[in-house]
Structure 1
C-alpha cells in the first residue's frame, strides 16, 4: 500500500517539480539527481516518500470535497448503505455516523472476523488512494505545464487527472460496497437482525 499510494505518486511529483527552474536548481545543488551510491539513492527515496505523504494528505481532502458530495448523485441506490447503517446501529448502539461510520465499522469487523475479505477490500481501497494522489499530481502538472505554456503536456495532464478522478471514485465505491457486502454475507447475526426489523 505504501508503494502504491506514496512512492509512485511521490516519484511522479518529483519528476514534474523538476520542470520548475528554481526547484530543478535546488535538486541539482542537493545532488538529488545523482543515483550512484546508497546515500544518494536513500536521499531520493526519502524525498519521494515525503512528497508522497503530502500528496496523500491533500488527496484525502477529496474524500470530503468530491467523493462525499458526488456519490449520492452518481450512485442513487442507497439501499445497501442504509441496510448496513441500520445493522451497525443494531450491533454497536452507535447511531452517530460522524463518531463511527458504517464503512469504518465494516472494515474493523472484517479485519477481526474475515481477514481475507478485508485484504480484498483493502486492495481496492489502496488502488483508490493511489488514483486519489494522482489527481493531486495531475492538478500540479496542469498548473506547472500551463504556467510554462506547454499546452500539450497541460492537456495530457488534464486528461490523466480526469481519468484518475473517475478511477478513484469507482474504486472507492467498489471497496465500500465490498466491505458492506462482506459483513452482510459473513455475519451470523445478520439473519437475526433482518428477522427483527
Structure 2
C-alpha cells in the first residue's frame, strides 16, 4: 500500500517540475522547437509521438527550471533572517536543541535541523510528514512558477510585446510571496511537529545517534 510520503513525492514531481516545464515547453516550442529537434517537433508522425515529445521536453525543462529556482532559496534565506529571524524561543531553536541532545556532535554536520526533522517525521509520524510535504510541494511549485514568469517576461520583451511582459513580471510578485509563505510555514511546521512528538512520546526512546 502506498505511503503518504510516496504520494507527495509524486505531487512534488508534478507541480514543481512537470507542470512548470509544460508551461515553458508551450512557450518555447513554437519559438525554438524546430531549431532543437527539427522536423520531429514541427511535424510529429502521430499524435502519440507529439504528446510523448511534449512530455519529455516538459520534464527536461521542468528540471532545469527547478534547478534555477533552487538559487532563489538564497534570497529567501536572506529575507527570512531579516524579517522572520529565529529567536531563542522559536520552534527552530527548540527542534535544534532536541536534535543536538539526540545526535552525536560528529554527526550533526551531516544534516541540518530541517533535514533531521523531516527524517524524524517520516520515521515516527507519516501523517505529520504528509502535512510538511504538502506545504513543501506548494512552495516549490510557486518557486518554479516564479522562474516561468521571468522566462515569459524575457521572451515577450525580445518580441517587443511589453504589455504581456509587464503582466508576467507583475504575476511574479504574488508567486514569490506565496513561495515565501509556504516555505516558511513548511519549515516551521516541521519543527513544531518534532517538538510536539518529543513532548508526547519522548523521541530519545526511539531515535538518536548515541
TM bucket, shorter chain? 0.7 to 0.9
The RMSD of aligned alpha carbons is: 2.4
1:25 counterpart residue number: 34
Does structure 2 retain, via aligned residues, the 8 Å contact 1:131–1:168?
yes
Q: Does 1:10 align with 2:21?
A: yes
What's the TM-score, normalizing by structure 2?
A: 0.81
2:53 to 43, 52, 58: 43
Q: Does 1:125 align with 2:102?
A: no
Deviates more, 1:96-105 or 1:107-116: 96-105
- Give 1:153 shift: 0.8
1:60 counterpart residue number: 70
Does structure 1 retain, via aligned residues, the 8 Å contact 2:114–2:187?
yes
Change (3 A) 1:95 1:124: farther
2:188 counterpart residue number: 177
Q: Does 1:189 align with 2:202?
A: yes
Does structure 1 retain, via aligned residues, the 8 Å contact 2:34–2:42?
no
- Give 1:36 shift: 4.7
Deviates more, 1:108-117 or 1:11-20: 11-20
Give a deviation string over 1:1-46, Cα, whole Å, max 9, x none.
21111111001111222463xx053367222675953222111111
Give unmatched runs, 5+ long, in structure 1: 192-197
How many residue pairs align between the two structures? 189
Change (3 A) 1:35 1:166: farther
1:152 counterpart residue number: 163
